[in-house]
């Protein structure tokens, strides 16, 4: 376990950031799931910009890699075109 005060503080900060990142990642996953389960094309088209915005925010905050964000958005657009 940590002996120095700065190491203890770093542990606290890391835990707080981990929970914060986890919240955003789970929120994005739920939004993506909701879009993938949509059967109606009009609903999916309306939902797509919101989901893309959430994915972009994750990439900007380095919660997910920018290439992963791009891949997710590409797959979602393909899904919408297929409907």
Please provide the distance, in angstroms rounded to a whole number, between the alpha carbons at the two ends of the chain. 54
Least Cα distance to 71 among 63, 59, 81 occurs for: 59
Query: What are 21-73's pLDDT values in tens digits?
Result: 999 999 999 999 999 999 999 999 999 999 999 999 999 999 999 999 999 99
Check residue 11 and give its pLDDT: 94
5-82 topology per CATH: Methane Monooxygenase Hydroxylase; Chain G, domain 1 (1.20.58)
CA atoms of 33 and 30, how far apart (whole Å): 5
**Domain ranges within the chain, ordered by starting residue:** 5-82
Residue 73 · residue 55 · CB < 8 Å: yes
């Amino acid at each position: 376990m940590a002996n120095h005060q700065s190491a203890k503080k770093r542990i606290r900060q890391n835990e707080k950031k981990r929970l914060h990142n986890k919240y955003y990642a789970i929120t994005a996953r739920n939004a993506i799931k909701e879009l993938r389960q949509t059967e109606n094309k009009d609903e999916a088209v309306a939902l797509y910009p919101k989901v893309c915005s959430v994915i972009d925010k994750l990439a900007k905050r380095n919660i997910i890699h920018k290439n992963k964000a791009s891949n997710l958005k590409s797959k979602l657009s393909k899904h919408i075109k297929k409907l």
